[in-house]
Amino acid sequence: MALIETHIENRVATITFNRPEALNALSREVIAAFREAIRTLRQDRNVSVVVLTGAGEKAFIAGADIKGMAELTPIQAAAFAAEGQDALFELERMPQVSIAAVNGFALGGGCEFAMACDLIYAADVAKFGQPEVNLGIPAGFGGTQRLTRLVGPMKAREMLLLGKPITAEKAEAIGLCAAVFPKDQLMAQVRAIAGELVEKGPEALAKTKALIREGMDLDLGRAIALERESFAVCFSSPNQKEGMAAFLEKRKPNWERT
C-alpha cells in the first residue's frame, strides 16, 4: 500500500496519509510522497479542491516519525525540518483550496500540516496539539509561527509550552478549526463543503487564499495594495465577465478552467 493515496472525484482530490499502524506519522518517505502528490495535483486542471485526511480510526497524523528522528545529527535534523517546512509552503501556494479533514489525532507535525491548509474541519473525537516539548524539542514544521498567527500568541503559547492536546471543540473555540462534525459525518460534510467551493470562480478562490496568507505577513497598506492588484488582474479573466453576466442573466456561471 502506498504511504500517500490520492483519489480524485468531482474535481476534489483527497490525499490520505496511509500509515495507520504508526498513526500516520510523517517519515521522510511520507513527506517525499506527499510533495510528489501535491506537485502533480497543482497542475491538474480537473482539481479545484484538495482534502487531506488520515487512514485508520485513530489519527489524522500523530506527528513527525519519532523513531526516524531519535538519532538524527543536527545537520540531518535541519534537513528534515526543511523538508517538512518546504512541503507546507508548497501546500499553501497551491492554487486550489486545501481542506484538512482532521479525523483523529493531529499532533506535532500533524497539527502543522493541518494549519497549512486553507480550511480545517474536525471530527468531534479529534485532538489537536503541539506536544514536542515533551520530547525535548520545539515544533519544527512551522508550528510556532502558524499557530501563533491562527490563534494569537497566548493560546499558541499555552499549546506549545504545555504541550497538552486540546479537544476539537476547544480548537473550534480558539479558531484553530472552522467547525466540528460527528466522526461518522466528517467526510460527507467536508465533501459537501468542497462541492460548494467547486462552484466558485477559480481565479477568485486562488487569489483570495493567497491574499489571506500573504497579507498576514505584510503591513496593512501593502496588503491592501496587493488586494487591489489581484482585484484588477481578475478583470483580465473571462471568468469575471462570466460570473457577472451569469448574475445579471439569473443563471449559474459556467467557469472556464485554464
Q: Which residues bind ligand HXC (CB under 6 A)?
A: 22-23, 25, 62-67, 80-81, 84, 105, 107-109, 131-132, 135, 139-141
- State in angstroms the smallest separation of the CB of 29 from ligand HXC: 13
- State in angstroms the smallest separation of the CB of 123 from ligand HXC: 15
- State in angstroms the smallest separation of the CB of 22 from ligand HXC: 4
Residue among 86 and 229 whose Cβ is closer to ligand HXC: 86
Residue among 103 and 237 whose Cβ is closer to ligand HXC: 103
Element holding 119 (H helix, E strand): strand 119-123
Within 8 A by CB and 6+ apart from 180, the residues are 121, 122, 123, 124, 126, 168, 169, 171, 172
Q: Which residue has the cell 492554487?
A: 95
- State in angstroms the smallest separation of the CB of 82 from ligand HXC: 9
CA distance 95 to 101: 19
Q: CA nearest 19: which of 34, 8, 9?
A: 34
Residue nearest to ligand HXC (CB): 108
Q: CA nearest 159: which of 123, 127, 181, 136?
A: 127
Cell of 159: 499549546
- State in angstroms the smallest separation of the CB of 238 from ligand HXC: 43
Within 8 A by CB and 6+ apart from 52, the residues are 14, 15, 17, 60, 98, 99, 100, 101, 113, 114, 117
Catalytic machinery residues: 112, 132
Residue among 104 and 202 whose Cβ is closer to ligand HXC: 104
Backbone angles phi, psi at 92, to 5 degrees: -65, -35
Q: Is 152 left (phi over 0), alpha (psi -120 to 50) or beta?
A: left
Residue among 4 and 25 whose Cβ is closer to ligand HXC: 25
Residue among 3 and 22 whose Cβ is closer to ligand HXC: 22
